[in-house]
Structure 1
């Protein structure tokens, strides 16, 4: 991601669960259960997990002994878990369909600039845009058949 959102707030809500407030204005829950394998297995200890801190600039979350997760990974994971489109999915859609910024913008009826934001993750992708991408691709396949 070129300019991932910054973490503005983060709080522990349960075992391996956090709620993160993003610079995009979103507040999303995230479950780190799937990440709790080495070296992240230390997160399974509730006291250790509770010692989470936001780094000074909001670029990630840190735990003792140098363990940390970057904002880009956490943002992608939290949006995916919430059922929202992610920058990597949007970028994959563009690549799969051979779309440039300009052609993706034309296909979705948007500006090239907004497509660039969605592609890099610097702006949250609305659910309706994710659905539009799925519909556009489905229709394209039907026409090709």
Structure 2
């Protein structure tokens, strides 16, 4: 039984030199280039060896792409996020990071963005793509809050003079 079709891998094709085509249980297929990650992270450098990279396989539950059991694997949610970002979309992890950076609950984030909590949950789970307008709302909210903090700081400093 598949519990999370957006993060369960059903098919995998290696695309040399460092690419993967990953199909998820929701029917979506994404292409992801792992080359930049292999260069950037020492823990991933072993994948620079084509003979090892070509051994990529899906684990028994579809939650990971595995090269070396328990030592070298990538989770399905991370792969999907990376593929969405590489294709010019907004990955769900970016939205999680924005909420964490500002200590926002899902309720407060939904209110700040002008979306329902249900829709926010779709975005956070990767069930629905995050529209660029929603990400722009995140950036606008962030800018507005930063200006408000600066204004409060200036007013507070002036009051102490």
Identify the residue that residue 46 of structure 1 maps to in structure 2: 50
TM-score, normalised relative to structure 2: 0.69
1:85-125 deviation per Cα after TM superposition (whole angstroms, max 9, x unaligned)? 23332122223334322222122222212323433x34244
More helix by share: 2
- 2:135 is aligned with 1:130: yes
**Matched positions, count:** 142
Alpha-carbon distance in structure 1 between the residues aligned to 2:47 and 2:67:
9
Alpha-carbon distance in structure 2 between the residues aligned to 1:43 and 1:56:
21
Equivalent residues in 2 for 1:116-127 (5 A)?
Answer: 116-119=121-124, 121-127=125-131
Identify the residue that residue 76 of structure 1 maps to in structure 2: 81
Do the aligned partners of residues 115 and 17 (structure 1) sit closer, same or farther apart at CA in structure 2, a change above 3 Å counting? same
Identify the residue that residue 31 of structure 1 maps to in structure 2: 33
Do the aligned partners of residues 122 and 79 (structure 1) sit closer, same or farther apart at CA in structure 2, a change above 3 Å counting? closer
TM-score, normalised relative to structure 1: 0.75
Which structure has the larger Rg over C-alpha atoms? 2
**Structure 1 residue ranges without an equivalent (≥5):** none
Tell me if the contact between 1:24 and 1:124 (Cα under 8 Å) persists in the aligned partners.
no
Tell me if the contact between 1:54 and 1:60 (Cα under 8 Å) persists in the aligned partners.
yes
**Greater RCO, 1 or 2 (C-alpha within 8 Å, sep 6+):** 1
**Structure 2 residue ranges without an equivalent (≥5):** 152-161
